[in-house]
Structure formats: structure tokens, C-alpha cells
Amino acid sequence: MSILSGKNILLGISAGIAAYKTASLVRLFVKTGASVKVVMTPASKDFITPLTLSTLSKHPVYSSFTNEEDDNAIWNSHVDLGLWADIFLIAPATANTMSKMANGICDNLLLATYLSAKCPVYFAPAMDLDMYKHESTLHSFKTLKSYGNIMIPATSGELASGLVGEGRMAEPENILQFIENDILNKLPLKGKRILITAGPTYEAIDPVRFIGNHSSGKMGFEIAKASAHLGAEVILITGPTHEKVSHALINMVPVVSAEDMYNAVHRYFENSDIAILSAAVADFKPKEVASQKIKKSDNTLTLELEKTKDILASLGAIKTHQFLVGFALETNNEIENAKDKLKRKNLDLIVLNSLNDSGAGFKTETNKVTFINDKNEITEFQLKSKAEVATDLLNEIIKQLNA
């Protein structure tokens, strides 16, 4: 899955021959899972039609402040477009449009939207080689970059004039890759490897029965997705669950039992920077597992249970550089029990859940948590979606790492 999946991308097209490439650019963005809208300068419609771009983007194309329909003027708000966008790409960016951007000239919808945008702005210059090297163009480059805009450099090649040289707009595939790499390199967890456990474990009684719990795995999966969106490489070790995830930065490792999870966690822990153990691992397992299905011959069944390996404590005992996070699900004396677990298992942070809180715990879309760090500092949160809890947790980890 691309880092652009779920993003709102606004494509601004100015009047250059390279505008014909924007059809491919829109298709590439849509394939990443992004939502794409297009705003054009009036003159750019001489190079590619709004109908083509509207069909590919599945959104209306904007080129003027109003649309005339049945003699009623419909306002196209440049402010709304600027606020909608997570990313604003101007491609092709002609010398004329860049000069206006650099000097605050606002004589069309694209330029008004540019001045209203609050998101990162990328621009991909396209023009003939002499124009590209002209002092005024170089000044526009410098000024636009000083404003925080990000330039996607032109390449050398055959130009519309028939000359060969610098000024050719980057190819759509390269523009997409440039933006993806730029976003990834700026993410706070870029270069970090995060180990996450999720879901329940199933401890076999016989070939068809097991001891388990009600964990859905949703909290761990949301942490994994949030970690990947922040640039981390994620190892997601998960017990049996119906949760799904698809992301290029997430490597999912399915397991079944506590023993399986113990072995998988220890396989990846040494090379991890952060470990977040959110799985609901069984504390006990049957001492003996029947090789055949146990027949229902008596009114009662006695099982002898033995403790499973304590995965969290085992990591706390061997950690070196890793930031180790555990979860505590409590029903009484919550804070005291969580603090005790934090200390006993040598954690850097513990996430406390209470089954006494409505909307928290297993099989819910929400959670209510409290963070306690190794300095015994406590941060309480109100009921939130598990996706929001995941974001809060990662923000707390980043803050602790940067402290």
C-alpha cells in the first residue's frame, strides 16, 4: 500500500504542452488509493480536456471561480479546495505560473487556491531549456522553495521545440515516486523497526478445542497501521483474528499459541527499535494436549493447566536499546497494578485498560486508556476510537524517545 493511500491530492495544471502527461499522473494517484481533484488554468484546457481528467479522477474539474448552469452561478471556493487537499501538486508548472506564485499574483482559480493551501505544495517545472535557465525562472525557483514549496526538478530530454536539454517535466511515475519518498523521509518513525503483537492466543485442549479469549486484535492492528503511516517498518505478530491489513511497510506474522508468539517475538526483538505488546496472551495452557478429540462421556472434564511463558517479562530481561511497551487490562486497583507490572517487567511505558470503563476492552471500536511511563508519570485519556488511541500512543513514544 502506498503512503498516499487515503490522501486527498489536488493537482493544479497550468498551460504547458506537458499537460498531456497529467492524464497518466491522475491514474497513478488514483491507483495508490488517493482521492484526486483537478484545478486547471483556463489556458491549460487547450492542451488536455477537463472531461478526460474528470473521467479519470471521478471528480469535477475546476477552472474558474463559477460554473454557469441554468443561468445560476455556482461558486467554486478556492478556500475549500485548499483546505480539502493533503497534498497540492502543480504540474506542469510553467514559467508564467511560477512567477505569479512567487509574487502573489492571483488572477485565476489555481493561483487563488495555491495562496489558500495549508498543505505541502509540490511543483514540477516544464518549459524550454532557455526559459528554464533564465534568471527570472531561477529566481522563481529560489523564491518558491524559500516559501517552503517543494520542487520536483525537470529532466533533460527532447523538448516540444525540437531542442534537447533541461526543462522536460519529470515523468508521472517519477513524480509519484518523488512525492512518496519525500513524505516517507520526513516521517518521524522513518528508519525505525517496530515489533507489535496483536490478538488472542489459542491453547489447544485436543485437535478441535482450545482455551482462548475475546480479543479481536483490532487495537494491535490499528497500532500497526498508524506506525506504518508514520514511516516505520512493522513486524505484526498476530494470533487468530478476522482483522485485515495491507501495507507495504507491514510484515504480518500469524501465530496460534502463546509458545508460537513467544518464539516469533524473540526472533524479531533483537533487531527492533520499539516493541509494543498489545496481544492478549493466554496466561495458562493445558499441561497435556489430547491427541484425539475428547469424547463427551462424563458430565465434567478436569484439565490441569500450567503457566505459559511470560513474553513481556522475557523481553524486559534482555532489552538493550529497545523501547518496550506493555498493556495492562485490569478490573480493580488499576493504577497500582499497572505500576507494579511496569516495574516488574522492566517496561518503558504501559497502557492501562480497565474493564470497568464502558466502551473499552475487547471487541469494541473504542478504547479508554491511561499511559504510565517509567518515571511514573500518568496521562489519562477520554474514550476514543482505537485508531485515535494508536495515534496517541505513538505520539507518546516519539515524545519519550526525543526527550
Q: Which amino acid is at 393?
A: L
Q: Could you tell me if 370 and 328 are in contact, meaning their C-beta atoms sit under 8 angstroms apart?
A: no
CA distances from 239 to 136, 276, 338 (A): 61, 15, 24
Find residue 197's DSSP bridge partners: 237, 277
Q: What is the phi-psi region of residue 279: left when phi exceeds 0, alpha when psi lies from -120 to 50, beta otherwise?
A: beta
Q: Are the C-beta atoms of 95 and 60 separated by less than 8 Å?
A: no
Q: Identify the H or E element spanning 103.
A: helix 95-103
Tell me if 190 sits within 8 A of 279, measured CB to CB: no
Name the amino acid, one letter, at 320.
T
Q: Which three cell numbers stand for residue 103?
A: 509574487
Q: Give me the active site residues, please.
A: 213
